[in-house]
Structure 1
């Protein structure tokens, strides 16, 4: 009997790890192309505004797929979702690797978004479904390590691969890795609950997906100035689409996403903090490699590697931060992590015009320490207030917002930098430094909102 329990426990752990590795490789490619943009712009003869959609479009597609992750979790087995995620990612990556032009490259990226779009919610659903509640903190820590560390390793992976080989090899390597995960994971992931064959709310899905698209297109207009009418038109359209989605959800018997999760104030503030943590993480991971190359006059290899030390050190401590949550509760890791995040953004803002490579390594290390300490623990605390079936919907909200945060964070910080670059005052190098400093100030504001969200979340929990 004991041997049977041990065998089942081992199989469950392997199931979570398989989904985690698939999620890792999917998220890794979110940012690995950032340092390859100059090379691809020359090869495909397109502008930066066009080529950046290989990252923004990928993130956006992941967010759109995650909208229906709760429905998919009910409708299909974990094994079926895992297989679709792996096959979709591999097919898309092969298309991207052999793409003769930009449209085919973008098509491949959008198809490969199935990988992270399906496997990331699957990973978190498996943790809450098959792992004991007392171990959630540790496994959420492992999952948080995957979600948070992969995008910061992306620039280093992309920079090294492009510098020594070619950007196309990025897709070759991730396809091989995904194939190994597919072969190893398929036998250990099974069926953990009965499937519900409910109808899908296509109208709500299209409405919310359109809201995500118009939001991303809207914030992209910031680079043309706040007085740009298209910016405000798109944001108003986004607001109308969100309102329409809420009304449709209230009337429809086919729930794409159960909005009852938002009745819990603690969850709302926790999800907001989770969104902004990833906003800062992905946004700054975009700014720093560009700062190093344009302002610091370094190669794309250095631009990618400068983020590596902080990511590795903080990443290795991630399981400990999860264990800290299990033993000491949420307040210590969340408040302390939020403080480190705010401190790093403040240092980046103060020294933003003259950042050396060593300063970036140290400041980014502090930021990663704060991010790792609070990121996965924020989600664990937010999910704690939801019960039963609503937990899958809450997971879908968090994971969708996390991907949307990456897309919006990259777009907004890039737009802020672009405002200074387009002013034409002084050199392009100085304009980039000034734009980066402004972007850092914006992330500092987001960090303060994170701290405020934690305070409100804990107050809401206490009031229950």
Structure 2
């Protein structure tokens, strides 16, 4: 009888753990959903607030940048606070920030609300991955990483359809009311199942390290934003060099400080660095294209916000539903066939977009984006799982923090660079605004194609080093 009770208790605990992961996952979903749900509303907001595209895009860029800055602290927060505490602050911050944005009468109030609501995704995404690594068996990491990857990948690509439908039938402000209600529901469900999974430590907060990294991220994003003003712009190079200097200063500081925010020992594994870079570029491509296409459809294709969002929906759903299957295939086949195939499909999609960039039809966009989403989903969560597998157990939290911070920074920089590339062509005066936007979009698509090739190179380098290390051991 005792062993039966033990089995029942274990099953009950397993279900509770799964529910805890799902609660963090749904909070991550609603946090990420708003990353791109506003992209389709940009033409409307530009008119309402009288701002340009490279200004209004900060509602996404600033949001993602703030998430990245919060994620810098995820390793410290995981040690210092319980999962329940982080979950409560995540939900509360998101609801408050969303309501500020919903009632904003000025653009900068809207932006402030977006920065506050970044607590939602900034805390819940690392929490979700940390829970997977901490409470789930390693032999099932691929499956659960696939489910987590489904959440992270589906949300930004469903965003345009969600934002377009709400804007077309109601008002863009209702986007924030709806996600705030959803977050409140997730809070009520999750607060009952998420608990305490390890002992908390009284670790000191690395204020100097935080300031160095946060300033480096901000400086890097501001520098990239200067691309639209041309490469001869002195501020572009000053800001980029300044960000590199700040990263270097953090490295020196972390080497001499045992309680630094991020344990830079994770970077000693060069194979992990290659995997993290590939993960960064995969999200860069995903968010970048999700920014370009809704604006292309409305400005070049002269479609409404609803069509601009719905065109991306079929490919997103089909590829997203396959994500857990890709995770299971990773558990059975390993990473190599999935990462090579996924990267190749993503690169092909970028090339097709670029070739037909001036004359894309709605059907072409649906098919080409479906290919890109398929390749991205096949590679995304499996790249993370492979990168984490390279690190020892004691560095998994730091490695997760690095990858998730890189992912959000990729979204922020990706949106900024795509907007800057398009703005370069929009600032010309030799043709109509629609034609200039199409030319800028085509240049952005060629850039995505180049990223696809680079991702494949990084995958090859990661596998080569893994093979060498396994031979030595």
TM-score interval, smaller chain: over 0.9
Matched, 1:289 2:294: yes
How far is 1:225 from its partner?
Answer: 1.0
The one of 93, 96, 99 aligned to 1:91:
96
Q: Which residue of 1 aligns with 2:110?
A: 105
Q: Which residue of 2 aligns with 1:196?
A: 201
Contact 2:284 2:413 in 1 (8 A): yes
Unpaired segments of 5 or more residues in structure 2?
1-5
How far is 1:103 from its partner?
Answer: 2.2
Matched, 1:262 2:271: no
Q: Which residue of 2 aligns with 1:358?
A: 363
| Distance change in 2, residues 1:426/1:46 (3 Å) | closer
Counterparts in 2 of 1:432-443, with a 5 A limit?
Answer: 432-443=437-448
The one of 320, 330, 338 aligned to 1:325:
330
How far is 1:40 from its partner?
Answer: 2.2
Q: Which residue of 1 aligns with 2:3?
A: none
Q: Which residue of 2 aligns with 1:153?
A: 158
Structure 1 stretch displaced more, 271-280 or 248-257? 248-257
Counterparts in 2 of 1:128-277, with a 5 A limit?
Answer: 128-277=133-282
Matched, 1:126 2:131: yes
Q: Which residue of 1 aligns with 2:54?
A: 49
Q: Which residue of 2 aligns with 1:394?
A: 399
How far is 1:100 from its partner?
Answer: 2.3
Contact 2:54 2:420 in 1 (8 A): no
Q: Which residue of 2 aligns with 1:316?
A: 321
Could you report, residue by residue, the CA deviation over 1:248-307 in whole angstroms, capped at 9, with x for unpaired residues? Answer: 111123221000000111110000000000000000111111111111111111111111
Structure 1 stretch displaced more, 423-432 or 259-268? 423-432
Q: Distance in 2 between matches of 1:426 and 1:401?
A: 38
Could you report, residue by residue, the CA deviation over 1:203-222 in whole angstroms, capped at 9, with x for unpaired residues? Answer: 11111111111111111111
Q: Distance in 1 between matches of 2:91 and 2:276?
A: 28
Counterparts in 2 of 1:66-85, with a 5 A limit?
Answer: 66-85=71-90
Q: Distance in 1 between matches of 2:32 and 2:124?
A: 10
The one of 417, 432, 443 aligned to 1:427:
432
Q: Which residue of 2 aligns with 1:462?
A: 467
How far is 1:423 from its partner?
Answer: 2.0
Q: Distance in 2 between matches of 1:411 and 1:34?
A: 12
Q: Distance in 1 between matches of 2:142 and 2:390?
A: 15
Q: Distance in 2 between matches of 1:127 and 1:33?
A: 30
Q: Which residue of 2 aligns with 1:20?
A: 25
Could you report, residue by residue, the CA deviation over 1:108-166 in whole angstroms, capped at 9, with x for unpaired residues? Answer: 11110000000000000000000011110110001001111101111111110011011
How far is 1:70 from its partner?
Answer: 0.5
How far is 1:47 from its partner?
Answer: 3.2
Q: Distance in 2 between matches of 1:424 and 1:223?
A: 15
How far is 1:226 from its partner?
Answer: 1.1
Q: Distance in 1 between matches of 2:103 and 2:297?
A: 30
Q: Distance in 1 between matches of 2:285 and 2:411?
A: 8
Q: Which residue of 2 aligns with 1:36?
A: 41
Spell out structure 1 runs of 4+ moving beyond 4 A: none
Q: Distance in 1 between matches of 2:135 and 2:32?
A: 23
Q: Which residue of 1 aligns with 2:64?
A: 59
Residue-pair matches, total: 464
Q: Distance in 2 between matches of 1:369 and 1:65?
A: 30
SS at structure 2 position matched to 1:379: helix
Structure 1 stretch displaced more, 444-453 or 250-259? 250-259
Q: Distance in 2 between matches of 1:113 and 1:300?
A: 24
TM-score by length of 2: 0.97
How far is 1:459 from its partner?
Answer: 0.7
Q: Which residue of 1 aligns with 2:13?
A: 8
SS at structure 2 position matched to 1:187: coil
Q: Distance in 1 between matches of 2:116 and 2:230?
A: 33
Q: Which residue of 2 aligns with 1:367?
A: 372
Q: For the aligned residues, what is the CA RMSD?
A: 0.9
The one of 385, 391, 394 aligned to 1:380:
385
SS at structure 1 position matched to 2:450: helix
Contact 2:294 2:309 in 1 (8 A): yes
Could you report, residue by residue, the CA deviation over 1:327-382 in whole angstroms, capped at 9, with x for unpaired residues? Answer: 11111111110111011011111111111000010000011000000100000000
How far is 1:420 from its partner?
Answer: 1.2
Could you report, residue by residue, the CA deviation over 1:71-129 in whole angstroms, capped at 9, with x for unpaired residues? Answer: 10011111111111001111111111112222221111111000000000000000000
TM-score by length of 1: 0.99
